[in-house]
């Protein structure tokens, strides 16, 4: 009887330590992403915001096209990631493994070409096509990702998912040059993105007051020529939080994030 009891207690201890080990493994250095990824994947509010953004984009596109000369070639510029395609499973993988974003885990994700279209995005591209407006995809995915990106856009049934309408990053992460290339042959009537640099290079600058003052200068453009979509998971907005330092450790980043919070 005593032997049985000892074995039973021993088994209980092993079970308990396994459980703790499991919990330890669950806690990773990317846990700060949990709430933003959950919001992106599981809040109906996120879906509603994308519908709102693309509904407004359709409205503005319609208004602008009717005011323009029928002969003018017109274009809309859209970003891809977190604008047309949902890469939140890649962020989910970072939480799971504890590994932060890097080129390797990013291309592991994009090479699968399985990102889902964001709510309203495909319909918007088809609407633009029906109005005689070309859609150009300007993304900071690297040029080596052209094929997998096109495959993904095509499988999700986006309009203009061809190499003539895809401008990926070669060397310059600013999208200015690629926008100018489109502007040579088209009048750009609308820009859609989740990052301020998707609209104008002026808004790339976050060196002063998080970029708030610059956004204020462009106040009237938002909801008119610029349609911005929500991305709480990552973006250029992080740069000033980390003092533009790319070489911080996870614990340094954690401290800076916490220090930037406004409380009372």
- Residue 264 and residue 249: Cα distance in Å, rounded? 28
Q: Which one of the spans 5-13, 17-25, 193-201, 251-259 is the region binding Mg ion (CB under 5 A)?
A: 193-201
Residue 79 interacting with Mg ion (CB under 5 A):
yes
Binding to Mg ion, residues 122-181 (CB under 5 A):
none
**3-state SS class at 30:** coil
Cβ 82 to Mg ion shortest distance, Å: 4
Report DSSP state, residue 29: T
Q: Which CB, 16 or 102, lies closer to Mg ion?
A: 102
Specify whether the CB–CB gap between 81 and 139 falls below 8 A.
Answer: yes
Cβ 36 to Mg ion shortest distance, Å: 14
Cβ 234 to Mg ion shortest distance, Å: 9
Site size toward Mg ion, by CB under 5 A: 4
- Residue 136 and residue 248: Cα distance in Å, rounded? 35
- The token duo for 122 is 């495909």
Binding to Mg ion, residues 172-191 (CB under 5 A):
none
- The token duo for 130 is 């029906």
Q: Which CB, 28 or 182, lies closer to Mg ion?
A: 182
Cβ 133 to Mg ion shortest distance, Å: 21
Residue 91 interacting with Mg ion (CB under 5 A):
no
Specify whether the CB–CB gap between 117 and 86 falls below 8 A.
Answer: yes
State CA 22 to chain mean position distance.
31
- Residue 30 and residue 95: Cα distance in Å, rounded? 5
Q: Which CB, 82 or 86, lies closer to Mg ion?
A: 82
Contact footprint for Mg ion (CB under 5 A): 79, 81-82, 194
């Amino acid at each position: 009887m005593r032997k049985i009891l000892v074995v039973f207690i021993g088994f209980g201890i092993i079970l308990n330590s396994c459980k703790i080990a499991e919990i330890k493994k669950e806690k990773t250095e990317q846990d700060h992403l949990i709430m933003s990824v959950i919001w992106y994947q599981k809040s109906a509010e996120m879906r509603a915001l994308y519908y709102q953004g693309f509904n407004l984009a359709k409205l503005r596109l319609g208004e602008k096209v009717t005011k323009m000369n029928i002969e003018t070639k017109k274009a809309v510029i859209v970003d891809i990631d977190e604008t047309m395609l949902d890469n939140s499973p890649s962020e989910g993988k970072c939480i799971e493994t504890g590994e932060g974003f890097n080129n390797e885990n990013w291309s592991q994700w994009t090479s699968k070409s399985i990102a889902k279209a964001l709510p309203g995005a495909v319909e918007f591209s088809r609407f633009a096509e029906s109005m005689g407006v070309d859609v150009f995809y300007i993304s900071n995915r690297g040029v080596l990702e052209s094929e997998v990106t096109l495959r993904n856009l095509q499988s999700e049934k986006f309009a203009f998912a061809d190499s003539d309408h895809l401008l990926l990053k070669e060397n310059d992460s600013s999208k200015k040059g690629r926008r100018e290339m489109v502007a040579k042959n088209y009048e750009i009537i609308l820009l859609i993105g989740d990052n301020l640099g998707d609209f104008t290079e002026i808004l790339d600058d976050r060196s002063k007051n998080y970029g708030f003052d610059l956004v204020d200068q462009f106040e009237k453009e938002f909801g008119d020529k610029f349609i911005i979509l929500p991305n709480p998971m990552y973006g250029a907005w992080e740069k000033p939080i980390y003092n533009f330092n790319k070489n911080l450790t996870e614990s340094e980043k954690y401290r800076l994030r916490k220090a930037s919070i406004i409380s009372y």
